[in-house]
Amino acid sequence: MQIYGELQLPKPQLNEASREQAFVCFENVQKSYDGETLVVKDFNLSIARGEFITMLGPSGSGKTTCLMMLAGFEPLTQGQILLDGRPINDVAPHKRGIGMVFQNYALFPHMTVTENLAFPLTVRKIPPAEIEQKIAHALDMVELPGFGSRRPAQLSGGQQQRVAVARALVFDPKLILMDEPLGALDKQLREQMQYEIKHIHENLGVTMVYVTHDQSEALTMSDRIAVFNDGIVQQVAAPADLYEKPENAFVASFIGENNCLSGTVSEVDGGVCKVALDKGGVVSAQKVDVGDVGARATLSVRPERVELVGEDSALPNQIPGRIEELIYLGDHIRVRISAAGTDEFIVKIRNSTERQSLNKGDIVNMGWLSKDCRALAPLSA
């Protein structure tokens, strides 16, 4: 067991079958910059060939550090990284055969687009005729044919980002790393580029490891998402599973909008429990990451899973509340309600004529199914 200061970490082992099948494998990876504090704490992750996986988390959570270690720009403090079954800890970055796309594009301003794309091919001693062919193919992939003679300053931000993607793809790497590549773009262009990168991945089948703090970006693009917090991976799952089935309170609160209610477990029946709310009432929920009777619990329920119901509703979980705010968003109405000790309980309801009769100050009854509510250990626990 490695010890840094007061922090002691166990060494869980990867499943050998997953290691053998993985294209990229992080094994018990740790990183410390000062020899005392770990910014990455015992990181294990297997990435399949052709997978698009996103490392998602708030600033300082360790996601970019993991990407930089995989690229070879940062040494590991402990553990090892395997690429296609081979350890690469001691392999120089330019010998790993990895394409890299940075947030600031990192294009050479004094070179044309063609010269920028030719650079990684020239250093790999690709024949000139083949270089010309590969550049033309790469520009076609990012829909920039005819832009080869322009310099970066003559391109829009979106076009520069496409050139950066083309440069990462031009030498046919088996692995592409992207570090917040869309962070400098405006919202509309950012969303457009998300789909374009996703389509490039689908067409080429190349393995992509993507870093972002934008949850909607991760949900849109990824096959799987690894959620980071404080140097620890909280959960790795497909986007739908991550959103619908968060394994702890951090993931529930970080991914998508989420309502949290506090209480104490009062009854347990297999995978279902009842939680007595601090401000009165009892809620039935899925017992996910919470102790037995007497344990503190945070209940997680998504706004779109909550309905405004009448008193004769058969929904098992019902609590009253007062409408504090109504926000019209076109296809739906966002209703902020004061209920169960919080002024921030959110309900998203489909826009319809009957729903437009709601008013601020109305007393309403909210209900939801037990299967849509998850009982989790509080973040402070």
Q: Which positions ≥6 away from 149 have C-beta within 8 Å?
A: 112, 113, 114
Amino acid 43: pLDDT = 95
- What is the DSSP pairing of strand 332-339 with strand 86-87? unpaired
> How many contiguous H segments (helices) and E segments (strands) does the chain have?
9, 22
User: Which CATH number characterizes residue 62's domain?
Assistant: 3.40.50.300
pLDDT digits (tens, 9 = 90+) for 248-287: 999 999 999 999 999 999 999 999 999 999 999 999 999 9
Q: What is the mean pLDDT of the chain?
A: 90
Sheet with 38-47, edge to edge strand ranges: 38-47, 24-32, 78-83, 86-87
In a domain, 236, yes or no: yes
pLDDT digits (tens, 9 = 90+) for 164-187: 999 999 998 989 999 988 877 788
Cβ-contact 281, 273 below 8 angstroms: no
- 240 shares its domain with 276: no
In a domain, 254, yes or no: no
Amino acid 19: pLDDT = 60
**Phi, psi of 147, rounded to the nearest 5 degrees:** -100, 5
Domain count, the chain: 2
- 148 shares its domain with 212: yes
- 205 shares its domain with 333: no
In a domain, 381, yes or no: no
Amino acid 5: pLDDT = 40
Q: Which domain, by its residues, includes 276?
A: 259-376
- 244 shares its domain with 289: no
Mean pLDDT lowest for which of 9-18, 117-126, 224-233, 276-285?
A: 9-18
Hey, what's the torsion of the CAs at 88, 93, 96, 100, to 10 degrees? 130
What is the value of pTM for the model shown?
Answer: 0.87
